[in-house]
Structure 1
Amino acid sequence: MVGGPYYNVFLGRKDGLSSKFQIVDTSFPIPKMSLSQIISMFTDKNFSIQEMVALTGSHTIGFAHCKEFSNRLFQFSKNSEIDPTLNPRYAKGLRDLCVNYTKNPSMAAFNDVMTPGKFDNMYYLNLQRGLGLMSSDTAMWVDERTKPFVKLYADNQTKFFEDFARAMEKLSLYKVKTGRQGERSDFNFMPNEGLEAIM
C-alpha cells in the first residue's frame, strides 16, 4: 500500500502467556541508545549489522514524538544549542515544530521528512544530507560499521527492498514458541503456512 516490498509472513505462531511492558522496554532499541548498544542488541539475537541497517530502513515511514529527539534541538551541549550534525534548515524546522513539546507531548515529526508516506530508500539518502531524525539514525551514516550499508541502500533501492524483506522474514521467526511456552489463538492456521504481506 505504501510502495514497499512483499515478503512472507509465516502463520501459526503461538501467543505468549504473559505481556509485560518491562520486557518490551529492554528488548527493543530506544532512540537515545548509542549505536554500539543497538548493534549489540541485534547481534545478540543473531542479526548481522547489515540486517540491522536494513530493518532500520522501516524509519522511511512513521513518526516520532518530539520528546524522543528534543535533546538534539535544545541545549545539545555547552558549545552548541543544536546538534551540529543536523542540517541547519531541518533543525530550525524541528525546533519550530517542537518548541512547546513539554506542554503538548503529542507533537511529532515524520521520520522521513521528504517522502513520509512512501516506503522507499529516501531514509538512507536523508542520512547523508543531515536529515536523520534520531541521533541513532545519524550515527549510522557516521559509523564505519554501518556507513557502507547506508550508502548501499541509498544507491540501490532494489537491494534495500530485497534485504529488508529477508530480514523481516527472519525477524518473524525469531524465538517461535513451542510446546507449553505459548498458547494458540482462535485462528485455525496451520503452522508455517505462508501469507504475503506488503509494506
Structure 2
Amino acid sequence: IRHLWIDSLCILQDDPKDFEREGTAMHKTYSMATCTIAASSSSSGQGGCLIPRDDNSPAQLQPCNLTFNNQTITIHPWSNEWCNYHRGPLSTRGWCFQERELSRRTLHFTTHRIFWECRTAIASEDHPSMINLGDRSFMPLSHTRPLATKLWCRAVQEYTRRNLTFRKDRLPAIYGIARIISAVIRDEYVAGIWLCDF
C-alpha cells in the first residue's frame, strides 16, 4: 500500500474551502481505498484504534460441522461484540455512515477484538472463517433503478438515526452515497432531493 489517508490530518479542519473540496470527494476516497481502518469503539475522532482491551473478553468458541441428510452445515458461534459495534460510538456518527457503506474492506478495532468486514462477509480474530452477510453494498453500478431506490431509502433511514456535530453537514455527509445512487438512477441530487421528484 503506497498511500495512507487520514481524514483528520488530510482535511484542513479550520479551512472551510478545503473541507468542502475534500468532503465532496470522500466517496472516491473511501470507495477506492484498499482498506479502511476504523476506530469502532473510540468515543471521538481523537480516541484512536489501539485502545486498551477489555480483559473480560468472552470465551472463544470454534465452529462445528453438523451432517444431516448427507449435507454438512457449519455452525459459526458468533459473539455479541459485532452486534455491540452497531450500537457503538462510531455507528452513531453521521459522517461515519458513508465511510462504512462505501468502503470495500474495513478493519474495525473494537474493545474486545479486531473485525474484518468486506461487502459480503465478516470475520474476527477469534472467528477467522468468513461469515457471509449477503451483498449490502451501494457500489455495484449494475443495480437496477428499483433496487437503487430501495438502497437509497434504507440509507436515508439509517443515516438520519445518526448524529452530526454541525447541522450544516447534513447534506455533505451523505453526498457520497447520493453520487453512487445518482449514477444508477440517472437523476440529479440537489440539496437532498432528486430532480425527478419535483
Instruction: Report the TM-score when normalising by structure 1.
Output: 0.25
Higher relative contact order (CA 8 A, sep 6+): 1
Q: Which has the higher helix share?
A: 1
Q: Which has the higher strand share?
A: 2
Instruction: Report the TM-score when normalising by structure 2.
Output: 0.25
